[in-house]
Amino acid sequence: MRVTMNLSSMIKPAKSTWSGRLALSELDQTGMTTHVPTVYFYIRTSDNWHIVLQTLKSSLSTTLVHFYPLAGRLSSIAGGRLELNCNANGVRFTEAYADVRLVDLDDFLQHPVFDQLIPSIDYRNTPIEETPLLLLQVTRFLCGGWSLGFCISHVAVDGQSALHFLSEWARVCRGESLDSPPHLDRKVLRAGDPSRVTCFNRNIEQHAQYSPPPLLLGQSSNESERRQETTITMLKLTETQVEKLRSKASNNHQTDQTKCHFTRYEVVTAHAWRTACKTRNLEPDQKTSIGICIDVRRRMNPPLPDKYFGNAIVDVIATGTSGELISGTLGFVSGKIRHAIEKVDDEFVNSVIDFLKNQEDLSKFQDLQLIKDEKGPFYGNPNLGVISWLTLPMYGVDFGWGKEIFTGPGTNDAEDGDFLILRGEEGDGSLIVALCLQVRHMEDFKRVFYQNIEED
């Protein structure tokens, strides 16, 4: 497939918007400082293609009036911290054309790398103050179908907020009114405010998610593992397979003689963690951890305002040894995942924020590899890092010409150990696991992943 870029323009809010510096919370400024790519595919439209492009652009401009922070830029301040400069410089919109038909892509799951359909960003040569927070690429195929490459700054928003913007843009593009404006004040997560933590033991605890993950036994750094060739795949789990995993985990894990009912997320994550330990041939006493991202919107007291616009996620860590994970039941490993998740409450989130506020330099908790060659935490061999998109409203995005026929993550920046769980086809109960592993481990992982659903 060859994609030709035709025209790139900067789309700005249709009306004057508030200008100034917007404080970011600590949760905005740790973790990924790059952009998160997603791609949507649509069948051909009945309208003139020029009209389609103009409608997308004009509705985008209108929507940015309400979501004006996305038209701004980031600025660096002291202590490795960032703030958002609401200057209405705009979002980048690129028009492109592909020399293939949608049908030529065959099975989308077998073509998970859509890098040509997603806007590219030159982090090394473009100052952060000049990099748009949102970049879009609309690509037309020979059949008349088209794709939308959606690339948004993870400093500006998390998945829930990104999809809130996308759904509202689609509504406006259809000619409807905005349904729910964003809550733009991030002070609710106490950026710059006094501490609210009352339990000082929790406040000063060592948050494991900010410590380096375990190394392979006998190695003093992860450099060798970082250099290993990786590959990406997307594995489908039918509803029947998911329920088999849930049944096994629940049946072999009881507390006080009461069966424990695990979620789909917990059992699939546990199953992937055990499978990785087996197929990486880890020593039994090899320590391994799994990083888990948790949305805290409903875990705060009181809950965050509806449509809070920003990052409202924290990381937690589950740990174990390869030997105990492989020899233990699926329920035992699922219990480790649940235990890590259950500790995330209002007090825990506030203690995380206070821990970060007390750091002189936040850059040590940021993944700056693509920007400055400064390498953040590595959740490759012997570890994993999991993200769930199961609760994200990413399906059914209709700009006026019908819902998407497929959507998925842009996985071109994935590293060894990264995996993402998302829903399969709408309504069929299936799940998709998008996974990046070293080439030498991938085929064994796929074989064991499916085989052990039946055998465990």
Which residues are the active-site residues?
A: 154, 398
The answer to whether the CB of 373 falls within 8 A of the CB of 223 is no
Nearest CA to 320 out of 252, 383, 266 is that of 383
CA distance 239 to 165: 30
CA distance 4 to 292: 38
CA distance 11 to 235: 37
Q: Residue 141: CB partners within 8 Å, gap ≥ 6?
A: 98, 100, 101, 102, 147
CA distance 245 to 339: 18
Burial (0-12, 13-18, 19+ Cβ within 10 Å), 178: middle
Residue carrying structure tokens 């060592």: 206
CA distance 304 to 25: 13
Which helix H or strand E contains 169, and what residues bound it? helix 159-173
Give the Å distances, CA to CA, from 189 to 62, 81, 109, 184, 305.
Answer: 28, 16, 38, 12, 11
The residues facing 433 across adjacent strands are 235, 421
Secondary structure class of 142 (helix, strand, coil)? coil
Positive or negative torsion for Cα 108, 111, 112, 118: negative
Instruction: Indicate the residue type of 1.
Output: M
Which two three-digit tokens encode residue 24? 């970011």
- Scanning 193-263, the segments in alpha helix (DSSP H) are 200-203, 223-226, 239-251
